[in-house]
Structure 1
């Protein structure tokens, strides 16, 4: 103590920070326990290796979180050891640590829907919800065990902290005291800077989420290495929409053809009705799984299966994002979401050519329906950007007797409201309905309890209910004069709880059904080619004979010859682009992996055996990302070349 007057204080500070490491380790173990069926780890040793690599990410989080606590603990003052000062440090320590620590517990449950750690974009999505208190109460009710774990661990953490007491010391304002205090302060600050960056090398950038993938055998393990507060911190002020120059513009125009124009059909004006079905993953639809050969497979959509017999369906279709708002932008505007959502970026407030604007230009009335409180999910705001003529939400429905108590109006009555409202529209019209009931908390109206199979996972019963709501809608719509002159589209926004191993594979995790139905059965059949949400927009324009040029990164699923079938999305911290015989993983600048098209789990990287087809696929990746970023950033989401 005489040589180092504040040694005991520094020792206690280290112990208090080590407590944070201990509880982050416990949270990582619990995260894996809750999601072990989604993340493959071969042994305890492999898991401990992941935890070891996670220490760097924990260090960044803990030092960010405890920055003020550390500063106030080591400030060269004379009052640091006093009781009231230490009491203030106690409240500062736990007010920051428990807030950040709680984010890990959210992902115990939320991970199974997004397959990635929550980021700033996840918080942006929550901001759009007007019923946050109801959602929180529902989460508390259904996942009480998560809250219990959090508060139990917080209680133990507090008890252990209280055992790390700093004894009051009366120090005199000597030169030695202040000199050693300032020296200790500067050393600790330097150590903290290095810890936050991940190392002390000037030449390297601070560690980010991509670095977690450096230590894994399969993509999902990166989320064990990470912690949720780190993911939120690192994406807080990050703008991943940045222009890149990877290929000549002529290459973009020839490979991607971002400005489409079709002259395959005579111009007509059928009504267009699009159902974007919440969490209605391909896995749950029997008609879309006939070729999968999944042992003991069971579907939950008898009506959609019957409708599929008279429709054109795509059994190898993929979502272009992970959240509901991503589905809206992908389906209606042909704009996918990758690392960060386009709709949460600085760029959605611009003129966007879309299915809405192109149809309005030829005389269509357009409307959007969503039974949740107006503005939920950000749909109203983005709908306004796209230029819908009308928006119909819970406010317009105006009958809380049909409110499910959490998200919105039950699907069956809202679908009937949808039908009645369309019947009052002047033709031609384009209307989109985004459903709500096939969603957590996975309940059906009381009068239908027991009517639909419980199934293998929690959402299956709700899928059966939404399928029934669709059956009731079509039964009534058939009676209307507009029905026979209408093209109907059914597509899911994204996936949800997974029952079968086939859909746990990395490239199969977010697959969706795509179905086109017209009462005259002009388009009928089963197509197994790759398809995706961004293909719906150009396909519909092709079907109705829209002959003007328009901006689209997708392709017509009924006639496109120049652009081969493909699917693009973002997952496991990389772009994933599938076409032909391979899946290419792309880090934004170059290919980092190639996998056989049948290796949907993306387990065997073939990059060391590159061939001409792989090189061509990488070139298409570069063209896509370059044009996507350039058009978004430069606000050229129109036919401007």
Structure 2
């Protein structure tokens, strides 16, 4: 003790920090257990390797979280071992650790909807919810086992901490004490800085979410390597919207044609009605899986399947984001969301050319409908930015008898309200309906219990209910004078719970149905080319014969021959660019993988077999990212070049 006056304190500190590593390891195991059907791991040793690589990310999180605790533990105060001081350390330790640690448990459940660890953007989504308490208690009721696990582990952690005792002793001030304590403090701080960064190399940036992909066999495994607090911490104050200079501007204009102008149809003014259906993944609709090879496949949308027979449908379509608000910006404004959502960035408050602005310029009345409390999901704010004339939410509906108790008005009555409100409008009008009921907690109105098949996963009966609500809407709408001159669009905002292994494959995640229907059946058929949400905006303008130039990263799905069919999205910490015969994974600067278009499970990386088509796809990806960042940051989301 005389030679090293504080050696026991440092041992106790090390043991207490080690406890955090142990419990993060347990959380990683539980995360995988809850989501094992979504993440392919080749056996025990493969999982152990992922856990080993996860230590670097746990280190960053643990040292960030325990910075104050570590500093208070090693600072030379002479009273560090006193009982009262140790009690303060106890509360500092658990107040910070348990709060941060709890974030891991959110993704035990939430991961199955987003297919990625939660980030700061995930927290931003809650900011717009007025019924946070109801959502919390609903989550508590449905996923009580997650709360039970958290509190059980917290209790065990506290018991283990209390067993690591430190012997109180009185330390007399001396030069040796302060000299060795100060040297130890500087050494520990240096080690902590290195641990937070990921290494001590000056030339290396601190580790981030993308680094988790360096250690995996398939992209989904990166989420086992990561932990949720790390993902939130590393995205807390980051702005991933940064300009890049990857290709000449002439290449951007040639490949992307960001300013479109179609003159394929004579100018007309049909009404435009767009249903963005909550969580209505492609997996659930039989019409979009007609040629599936999935054993014992079952669909849950008999009405949509019947409507598809008289519509133009796209069976290989994708969402350009993973949250509801991403679906709105992609479908209505043609703006995808990548690592961070455009709507959560510093840049959404600008003039944005969209379906709303282009149709308003043609004399259209524009409306947004969402049966949740006004402002939920950030829809009201973004609708105001886009310039919708009217917003109809739970407030305007004004009848809580039809409230589902959690999210909003049940789809069936709200869709009927939608029809009645449209009937009172003077054509032409453009209206967007964002549905509510096909969502967690996966319930249907009591009077419909047992009417819709429970199916293979919890959401299936809710899909059946929303499908029925659509049937009821169309049955009433077709009686109205505006119906015959209307183009209807059905699309999902994103996916949800997965039943079939085929849809657990990385490149089959975020698949959505896209359907265009008009009563005159001008556009019908089944198209299996690449398609995406951002294509809906230019396709509608092409259908109605809009003659003016407009800004669009998407393409018309009915006539555009200049830009080839493609999909761009962000998943598993990389951009994914799908075009032609290949799928390219792109880290923001260069291609890191190429896969055959049918290799949706990422089983064979062909990057070592580069060919001319792959080179062109990488060029497309570079051009897209460059133009996207420039236009968003420079606030040029209009026809201004």
Report the TM-score when normalising by structure 1. 1.00
Report what 2:243 is aligned to.
243
Give the secondary-structure state (helix, strand or coil) at the position aligned to 2:584.
strand
Report what 1:92 is aligned to.
92
Aligned partners of 1:559 and 1:437: how far apart in 2? 35
Alignment of 1:536-575 (within 5 A): 536-575=536-575
Alignment of 1:150-229 (within 5 A): 150-229=150-229
Give the secondary-structure state (helix, strand or coil) at the position aligned to 1:496.
coil
- How far the C-alpha of 1:292 sits from its partner, in A, is 1.8
Aligned partners of 2:268 and 2:579: how far apart in 1? 32
Aligned CA RMSD, in angstroms, stands at 0.6
Aligned partners of 2:398 and 2:507: how far apart in 1? 41
- How far the C-alpha of 1:174 sits from its partner, in A, is 1.1
Alignment of 1:352-363 (within 5 A): 352-363=352-363
Question: 165-174 or 276-285, which moves further after superposition?
Answer: 165-174
Report what 1:49 is aligned to.
49
Structure 2, unpaired ranges of 5+: none
- How far the C-alpha of 1:454 sits from its partner, in A, is 0.2
Report what 1:521 is aligned to.
521
Alignment of 1:412-431 (within 5 A): 412-431=412-431
Give the secondary-structure state (helix, strand or coil) at the position aligned to 2:520.
coil
- How far the C-alpha of 1:26 sits from its partner, in A, is 0.3
Give the secondary-structure state (helix, strand or coil) at the position aligned to 1:626.
helix
Deviations 1:120-179 (A, max 9, x none): 000011111111100000000000000000000000000010111222111111111111
Aligned partners of 2:53 and 2:158: how far apart in 1? 27
Give the secondary-structure state (helix, strand or coil) at the position aligned to 1:513.
strand
Give the secondary-structure state (helix, strand or coil) at the position aligned to 1:202.
coil
Report what 1:625 is aligned to.
625
- How far the C-alpha of 1:83 sits from its partner, in A, is 1.0
Aligned partners of 1:47 and 1:198: how far apart in 2? 21
Give the secondary-structure state (helix, strand or coil) at the position aligned to 1:526.
strand
Aligned partners of 1:182 and 1:57: how far apart in 2? 28
Aligned partners of 1:595 and 1:298: how far apart in 2? 29
Aligned partners of 2:414 and 2:319: how far apart in 1? 25
Report what 2:81 is aligned to.
81
Give the secondary-structure state (helix, strand or coil) at the position aligned to 2:521.
coil
Aligned partners of 1:184 and 1:606: how far apart in 2? 50
Give the secondary-structure state (helix, strand or coil) at the position aligned to 1:529.
coil
Aligned partners of 1:11 and 1:292: how far apart in 2? 60
Q: Which aligned segments of 4 or more residues in structure 1 are displaced greater than 4 angstroms?
A: none
Alignment of 1:448-467 (within 5 A): 448-467=448-467
Question: 172-181 or 8-17, which moves further after superposition?
Answer: 172-181
Alignment of 1:362-401 (within 5 A): 362-401=362-401
Report what 1:319 is aligned to.
319
Give the secondary-structure state (helix, strand or coil) at the position aligned to 1:316.
strand
Report what 2:342 is aligned to.
342
Report what 1:27 is aligned to.
27
- How far the C-alpha of 1:531 sits from its partner, in A, is 0.6
- How far the C-alpha of 1:397 sits from its partner, in A, is 0.5
- How far the C-alpha of 1:379 sits from its partner, in A, is 0.3
Aligned partners of 2:591 and 2:180: how far apart in 1? 52
Report the TM-score when normalising by structure 2. 1.00
1:125 matches 2:125:
yes
Aligned partners of 1:155 and 1:109: how far apart in 2? 22
Aligned partners of 2:253 and 2:600: how far apart in 1? 29
- How far the C-alpha of 1:244 sits from its partner, in A, is 0.5
Report what 1:578 is aligned to.
578
Deviations 1:562-583 (A, max 9, x none): 0111111011111000111100
Aligned partners of 2:43 and 2:313: how far apart in 1? 42
Aligned partners of 2:137 and 2:66: how far apart in 1? 30
Report what 1:438 is aligned to.
438
Report what 2:259 is aligned to.
259
Deviations 1:402-458 (A, max 9, x none): 000100000000000000000111110000000010000000000000000000000
- How far the C-alpha of 1:203 sits from its partner, in A, is 1.2
Aligned partners of 2:283 and 2:523: how far apart in 1? 23
Aligned partners of 2:186 and 2:506: how far apart in 1? 46
Q: How many residues align?
A: 641
- How far the C-alpha of 1:603 sits from its partner, in A, is 1.6
Report what 2:143 is aligned to.
143
Question: 196-205 or 366-375, which moves further after superposition?
Answer: 196-205
Deviations 1:533-584 (A, max 9, x none): 0000000000111000000000001110101111110111110001111001
